[in-house]
Amino acid sequence: MYFVVTIALLLGLAVVAATGGQLMATGNGAGIGIGVCAEVLVGIALWFVWKTYRFGRDSQRLSRILEAENGLPVDELKRTPGGSIDRDSADEVFAKRKAETEVAPEDWRSWFRLAVAYADARDTPRARKAMERAIRLQREHGAGAAAHSH
């Protein structure tokens, strides 16, 4: 599904870029200004797509490493009868993951598991930052860096 959405987005950006080029070719001051803005927006969008793709690819890579090590976080969250995550349960798991990360701040595995806990707590910005830290640490120190804490 992500592939289809990405292709559609890239096709849309190609249309915007072509239109921006046509506007710049008019020689009209307003057309040139709008065309330049369109090209800048396309550049920003392409950068964002690349960063998002790279983040997803790197997150999946870490997930595969942890899966091979039997180190993926276990879902220990309690759920409401409707299937939602119980808030107190999410807070307990988060506190546990945060403590693991404080004990081993250079272990990418603990940051990965903390990112999952943030995501479970619906704190997406912090989940992303924790996952970015896990990715950076794993790149710097490799798959075997730091002690395993499961």
DSSP states of 89-109 as a string?
Answer: HHHHHHHHHHHHHHH-TT-HH
Instruction: Output the pLDDT for position 64.
Output: 95
Percent of residues, the chain, with pLDDT higher than 90: 67
Nearest to 94 by CA among 71, 126, 68, 62: 126
Burial class (CB in 10 A: 0-12, 13-18, 19+), 61: middle
When pLDDT is cut at 50, 70 and 90, the band that residue 40 belongs to is very high
User: What are 124's two structure tokens?
Assistant: 């997406």
109-115 own/partner pairs: CB under 8 Å, 24+ apart:
109/66, 109/71, 109/134, 109/146, 109/148, 109/149, 110/146, 110/149, 111/137, 112/62, 112/63, 112/66, 112/73, 113/73
Work out the pLDDT band at 150, boundaries 50, 70, 90: very low
Cα distance between residue 148 and residue 130, in whole Å: 18
Identify the pLDDT of residue 143: 59
Residue 2 contacts by C-beta under 8 Å, 6 or more apart in sequence? 56
Distance CA 59, CA 66 (A): 11
pLDDT band at 92 (very low <50, low <70, confident <90, very high): confident
pTM: 0.76
Calculate helix-pair angle for 108-120, 87-103, nearest 10 degrees: 160
